[in-house]
Chains A and B, each alone.
Chain A
Amino acid sequence: MSNEQIKSLEEIFEARIARDEKIEPKDWMPEKYRKTHIRQISQHAHSEIVGMLPEGNWISRAPSLRRKAALLAKVQDEAGHGLYLYSACETLGISRIELYDQLHSGKAKYSSIFNYPTLTWADMGAVGWLVDGAAIINQVPLCNTSFGPYARAMVRVCKEESFHQRQGFEIMLKLCNGSKQQKDMAQDALNRWWWPSLMMLGPTDAESVHTEQSMKWKLKRKSNDDLRQQFIDQTVPQADLLGLTIPDPDLKFNEQTGSYDFGTIDWDEFWQVVKGHGPCNKQRISARVAAWDNGSWVRDAAMAHAAKKEALKIKIAI
């Protein structure tokens, strides 16, 4: 194809998206659109998969059967969300095994929030309340994104996600209405998860390299800073309700904007974690790689069994 032909195809393509038409896997698309989507959807899938690890840590130590069943169901949902997203990503012409290789080799990123440790039971509350809360803010606009399979996966994800946040808040509420020790535990979890949750919404608009193109393709409907403000404005009253203090001395309601002003985020910490130097980066990836490697004989056995069954079917047919 000549450069001119590609240029006119690109114009037609951009116009389709501007008209809110969806792009489906077999449609022509610019190479950059394909690559950007593979990057974003796979990062999202990897985040769901790695996101199971910090919570999996607490399944066997949940304080009651009710909490255990809820946490188990939440972690199972995350596995499901990872699978919806991986298969949406595969429609762009990349295989599951390539996607796994990118995660395991460190070539692909996942949300940096999962590189923080879950030290106490209150962390299960804080993760559900804050991390899933921030994730929902990020994800809801994606239900309308331009790439059909991604949008459809996100509709399913968002429908399932709201129980995650509510069960987290309920854990916090229970602790905050309990003994002093329990309330202290909840406050400690908030102290540790607050800032990483704000970072989770991405670098500031000034630093965000992909925003403009992503807005055009409806991979993003609001900027990182707007999403962060929305998250803070909706979360602060919830913390008040719990009787907990947000660990930010500069946090103050601004009568003029109707929003909360907040302190400076430690972006050095964010980039350190993104670059692999967070408290748990190595632990997370090695747990994931070990799970994959240790499951190898099971996958092989299942394939051998499938081949044997297939051969038997053919033999009976003859």
Chain B
Amino acid sequence: MDNNWPLWEVFVRSKNGLEHRHFGSLHAADEDMALENARDVYTRRNEGVSIWVVKSSNIKASNPAHNGELFEPAQDKVYRHPTFYNVPDEVKHM
């Protein structure tokens, strides 16, 4: 039996009003221990008010080798930006 503790990704909300941000990862036997360890490893100086832990194996990541087909289609769609549209200078509040 593989008794090595699995890897967890840790996300911390630094204060209410902000999103949870990826802080790092750690090993723990289960989700409760992952939360406790995250508290000790990543929030020793009041860095957070809320913690999420996610088993790393549950994350599906995009492959940078496919960045072309994933992200390039957005590049030629300049009409998604406000500066694409010509409006006379006299028009205010737009």
Contact = CB atoms under 8 A, between A and B. Distances in A.
Interface of A: 24, 26-28, 73, 76-77, 80, 83-84, 87-88, 90, 95-97, 152-153, 156, 160, 299-300, 302-303, 305-306, 309-310
Given A299-B3, A299-B5, A300-B3, A83 B26 contact: yes
Contacts of A95: 4
Contacts of A302: 5, 29-30, 33
Contacts of A300: 3
A88 B1 CA distance: 26
A305 B30 CA distance: 9
A156 B45 CA distance: 11
Interface string B4-44: 11010000000000000000111101100100000011101
Interface of B: 1, 3-5, 7, 24-27, 29-30, 33, 40-42, 44-45, 61, 63-65
The winner among B24, B45, B63, B64 for most chain A CB atoms within 10 A is B24
23 contacts: A24-B64, A26-B64, A27-B64, A28-B65, A80-B44, A84-B24, A84-B41, A87-B7, A90-B7, A96-B4, A97-B4, A152-B24, A153-B24, A299-B5, A300-B3, A302-B5, A302-B29, A302-B33, A303-B1, A305-B29, A306-B29, A309-B30, A310-B30
Nearest to B2: A303
Given A95-B4, A300-B3, A83 B41 contact: yes
A306 B28 CA distance: 10
Nearest to B31: A306
The winner among B4, B29, B42, B64 for most chain A CB atoms within 10 A is B29
Contacts of B41: 80, 83-84
A83 B41 CA distance: 8
A87 B65 CA distance: 23
B52 to A, nearest CB: 16
Given A26-B64, A27-B64, A160-B45, A303 B29 contact: yes
Contacts of A88: 24
A87 B5 contact: no
A165 to B, nearest CB: 16
Contacts of B4: 95-97
Contact of B44 (A24, A26, A77, A305): A77
Contacts of A160: 44-45
B30 A306 contact: yes
B64 A87 contact: no
Given A302-B30, A305-B30, A26 B63 contact: yes
